[in-house]
Structure 1
Amino acid sequence: MSSTDARDRAHAALKAAQDKIDLLAGIRPFLIDLSLRENPVGSRVGQTIDEKMAILPRLREFGFKNISLGTLDYAIPDELEVDDDFMRKLRDTGADLRGCFAFTAIGLVDADGRFTPDPSQVKLRDYGVPNTVHEIYLSPFGMAKMYDLDTLKRSIPASVQWLIDNVKGENGGPPRIFINIVDGCDAFAETPDDTFDVLELIGSLPIEGITMEDDRGTYMPFQVGAYVAAARAILPERMKILVHLHAGGGFENASMIEALLNGADGAWGGLPKQAAVIGHASLGELLANLARVKNREIDGMFRMKELLPLATSLQVLDENGPVPDDLPVLGNNAYRLSLSSFRQIDERFMDLPPERIGGQYRYRICPVVSDAEPVRGRLAEVTGEAPGTYDDAVVDTMIRLMRRDLRAGVRIDYDEPANLIQLHARATNPPAPLSTAMQVTHEH
């Protein structure tokens, strides 16, 4: 192969990547926010009805046009949940429910052709919620003990028709319906032809689209992308495809990008990270990553400079505790510089400085790597003095002392304010002997 041919192939590879960036930059994502359900499901304490009443307007103010109020297809349907109380209160107070959804389960048609709506469908009607994400299972494991494939095929059209006939949609029209394939990735992987048959059936119905999940977070990004592409090939162009991806294997945000690149229109999920399992490809992270590629649509859709404070405040509420420090994008350490060269700059390709999503840079001390900027910046945070107060010679000595302490076997958390102040005192005054250094609070 000639050098010219090799370079042509290399340039083609780079262009293919840039083409994907350009696609992501032009997407107008369709999102259904689930911060009122997805996040509290996996939290330690959940949400009260009063907290839900306070959260809903905040989600609208941020820019969400489609919001799920909760789930009605839960186990033991006669034992009501906070979601039931919340929806009934919204109904009884005459709240504006445009763009509001609730999750429901499919009703079933028996062998004699009799249809029985699921209790969640009846609740949807009675609570006055105008739209629904209507859930089915499609893999052999998912359908087991619920229904077989033939029953599912009979039931999907009948269940959709019941919703159209019985649920009052927005402005008096029909309800907006998405069908969520809870085990969608399993279905594509295990029984693709049966899945295609059901998708063709769904494609003939008067609904808005489908959603599909990787509900355990076990599928690789390239697999999720392939399943979305397969669904896109089967469904009519008018139908939207949304995804919901859990964080079981750590693939979730990469899988979200693959889904968008392969024809997905958007996603549903909570704004913060926590979810029913150990996290999910949250809408907060998705919006941040679209901002990273300079997406042209999201600034007109959402109050992007409120993203970080809103998402973190909701997670603190749900968890009744702090956001994990090392959570990407939304965590406390995501924008605490430990080394000046880690700073993200708006003008640099693919960087996302915190100001873009409503945050700001802060600093943390890591003895092995921290240079002058984080040392000076953390001092300013701790003391309230201006960073310029601390001259170069003192800061340089602080860095040297941290290295000497570690070489001597002394392990100190210099990020802790009291330890940092003592380090600064040591650097300002004649060096203390090692025995004095070891009197600082430290961990062996």
Structure 2
Amino acid sequence: MSNAKSLDQAYAHLHEAEAKLARLQSIDPYLIDLSLRENPVGARVGQTLADKLAILPRVRGFGFPRILLGTLDYSYPDELEVDDDLMMHLRDHQYDMSGCFAFTAVGLVAADGEFMPDVSMCKLRDYRVPNTLHEVYLSDFGMQGQYDFATLMRSLPLSVQWLHDHVRGDQGGPPEILINIVDGCDAFAENPQRTLEALQRIAELPVAGVSMEDDRGTYLPFQVGSYFAAARAVLPPPLKLLAHIHSGGGFENASVLEALACGADGAWGGLPKRAAIIGHASLGELIANLVRVKNPHMQRYELNQLLPLATCLQQLDEEESVPEDLPILGSNAYRLTLSFFRQRADRFMDLVPEAIGGHYGYRICPVVSDTRVIAGRLAEVTEKPADSFAEPVLEQMIRLMRRDLRAGKRIVYDEPQELLQLYTRASAV
């Protein structure tokens, strides 16, 4: 291969990345906040009605115009959940539920040809929630015990029509219906022809669009991207295409960004990281990453509240602190161990903590921490200015930490008492 052709191919790969970045920088994402449902599902404690009534105005105030109030297609529907209590409370107190959603399950055509709405659909009507994520399954495993593909395709148009006939949307208009394919990635991996057929049929219905999940977080980002690109090909705008990606393999944020780069319009999820399994590509992380790429549409949110609000909500659901080493939202995400790692506002792709309502802190790691980090941590512990600590003493602290390790001493110098003792030892030299 000639050098010229090799260079052309190399630049083609770089241009592809630039095109994806340009999309992420310009997209005005359609987001639905699920802090009232997604986060408590996987939490140790959950939320009471009082909790939910306190959270709702906070996520509204943060800037979310679309909020999911809860799930109505849960097991044992005769045993109500707090989600039911919230929706009944909002209805009975004439709360403006514009932009509010609830999950519902698809109704089915019975053997005699009669359509039977799911109980969740009736609750949506009775609670006067104006919009819904209407859930279906398309994989063999997902459909098993519920319906087969033919039954689903016969039932879905009637289910959508029932919602139009019985549910009043925002300001009295038609409801906004998003068909949520719970096992969307599974369906594409298992039977792409059937999945594309289903999407083509959905595109002909009076719905706002489609949502697809990787509900276990097991598909690689390039796979997720291909599934959303394929879906986009048969779901032309103005139909929306949304993503929801759980943690599983550890690449959930990469997957949702890849979905957006490949044609998705937005995502849904809670603001904090906590979710149904061990976490998900949260809206807090997504918004932060779009701030990272300088997306101007993120300025509509109260970004100075992103980090503290996400942290507060997760602590409420868990009754314990957010994991320290959680990227973006964890307390160690912006505790510097080495000055070299400091992110800067004037450097491409960096995200300074102040951009999302945080600030830099310092964490002592005896192997790498430099004098600026040690001075910063001393300032935190003593409440004295960082520049009040003499450079020769800080350098001696580094030397002593190295000597201690070589002598087999394992000391957590980040702890205030140990740090002050180290400072005293260094000052005496």
Per-residue CA distance 1:198-247 (angstroms, 9 max, x = gap): 11111111110010100011101111111111111112322100010001
- Match in the other structure for 2:249: 249
**Helix, strand or coil for the counterpart of 2:250?**
coil
Alignment gaps of 5+ in structure 2: none
AA in 2 matched with 1:399:
I
CA offset digits 1:311-340 (Å, max 9, x no partner): 111111111110000000000000000000
Q: Which amino acid aligns with 2:303?
A: M
Q: Deviations 1:5-60 (Å, cap 9, x if unpaired)?
A: 44443333323222221111001000000000000001100001011001111111
Distance 1:365 1:295, change over 3 A: same
Give the counterpart letter for 1:370 in structure 2. Answer: S
Query: Does structure 1 residue 116 correspond to structure 2 residue 116?
Result: yes
Q: In the alignment, does 2:423 pair up with 1:424?
A: yes
Q: Structure 1, residues 103-141: CA drift from partner, whole Å, max 9, x if none? A: 011111023210111111111111110110000011000
- For the Cα contact (< 8 Å) 1:110–1:151, is it kept in 2? no
**TM-score, with structure 1 as normaliser:** 0.95
Distance in 1 of aligned mates of 2:178 and 2:213: 13
How far, CA to CA, are the matches of 1:151 and 1:252 in structure 2? 32
Partner of 1:189: 189
Deviation at residue 3 of structure 1 after TM alignment: 4.2
- Counterparts of 2:6 and 2:171, CA distance in 1: 60
Q: Secondary structure at the match of 1:415?
A: coil
Aligned residue for 1:403? 402
Q: Is 2:79 aligned against 1:93?
A: no
- Count residues with an aligned counterpart: 429
CA contact (8 A) 2:21 2:261 kept: no
Tell me the SS of whatever aligns to 1:297: helix
Question: 2:106 matched to which residue of 1?
Answer: 106
Q: Indicate the RMSD between aligned Cα atoms, in angstroms.
A: 1.0
Task: Tell which deviates more after alignment, 382-391 or 2-11.
Answer: 2-11
**Deviation of residue 169 (structure 1)?**
1.2
Q: What SS does the corresponding residue of 2:43 show, helix, strand or coil?
A: coil
Q: Which residue in 1 is equivalent to 2:317?
A: 318
**Counterpart in the other structure of 1:262:** 262
1:351 — aligned with what?
Answer: 350
Q: Secondary structure at the match of 2:39?
A: helix
Structure 2 matches for 1:202-213, cutoff 5 A? 202-213=202-213
Report if aligned partners of 2:62, 2:305 keep a CA contact under 8 Å in 1.
yes
Q: Mean Cα displacement is larger for which, 257-266 or 106-115? A: 106-115
Q: For residue 144 of structure 1, what is the aligned residue in structure 2?
A: 144
Q: Deviation digits for residues 161-214 of structure 1, max 9, x if unmatched? A: 111111111111111100100000011111111111211111111110010100
Separation in 2, partners of 1:14, 1:152:
43
Aligned residue for 2:158, secondary structure, equals: helix
Residue segments in structure 1 that go unaligned for 5+ positions in a row: 431-444
Asked if the contact 2:35–2:270 (Cα under 8 Å) also holds between the matched residues in 1, the reply is yes
Counterparts of 1:56 and 1:419, CA distance in 2: 43
Q: Is the Cα contact below 8 Å between 1:312 and 1:330 reproduced in 2?
A: yes
**Seq. identity, %:** 64
Q: SS of the counterpart of 1:334?
A: helix
Whole-Å separation in 1 of the counterparts to 2:309 and 2:89: 24
Find the aligned partners of 2:36 and 2:386 in 1 and give their Cα distance. Answer: 41
Aligned residue identity for 1:394: V
Amino acid at match of 2:336: L
Following superposition of structure 1 onto structure 2, how do residues 41-440 of structure 1 map, counting pairs within 5 Å? 41-299=41-299, 301-430=300-429
Q: Secondary structure at 2:331's aligned position in 1?
A: coil
User: Residue 333 of structure 1 aligns to a residue in which SS?
Assistant: helix
1:58 aligned counterpart, secondary structure? helix
